[in-house]
Amino acid sequence: MPFHPYLYFGGNCREAFTRYQEVFGGDLTVLTGADAPPDSGIPAGKEDLVMHAALMIDGELLMASDSYDDEFAAVHGMYVHYSTADVDRAKTVFDALADGGTVESPGEEVFWSPFFGVCRDRFGTPWQVSAESTEQA
């Protein structure tokens, strides 16, 4: 049974997922409240918010939506982890995600990985990026 992260955003889900598609590639689907039937319960004035975004990347799925709650808070207590066998790809992805965000742990070689870094991107999503060691591959 696979696990799929489902992220929430405070009104910038489309912008975030457009950026994630630039970083990771893949096929992006975005549905807004305007795409829903009139009786679906979408709050008035929130029709432009994303009710569901799905980014399919090499058979893996990352999903999200905007929060309709006016008191939205950033994610705490978890990270989205991205791993690749290619060290250069890990570095490129980390740099792209960290651009405009904050670096919590700079990408570097660690005892369990030839590259591991932790950042919070400009949308508030916390990421861990790693390259698999040859023993892991």
- 42-56 residue pLDDT tens: 888 889 999 999 999
> Can you give the pLDDT at residue 49?
95
Q: Quick check: pTM over 0.75? A: yes
Q: Which fold would CATH assign to domain 6-66?
A: 2,3-Dihydroxybiphenyl 1,2-Dioxygenase; domain 1 (3.10.180)
Question: Residue ranges of the domains in the chain?
Answer: 6-66, 80-131
Q: Give the CA angle between residues 60, 51, 82 to the nearest 5°.
A: 25
SS3 13: helix
Residue 1 predicted with pLDDT over 70: no
> Can you give the pLDDT at residue 64?
96
Residue 91 predicted with pLDDT over 70: yes
Higher model confidence: residue 94 or residue 75? Answer: 94
- Would you mind telling me the total number of residues written for the chain in this entry? 137
For 39, other C-beta atoms within 10 Å of its C-beta total 6
Q: Which fold would CATH assign to domain 80-131?
A: 3.30.720
Give percent of the chain with pLDDT exceeding 90: 76
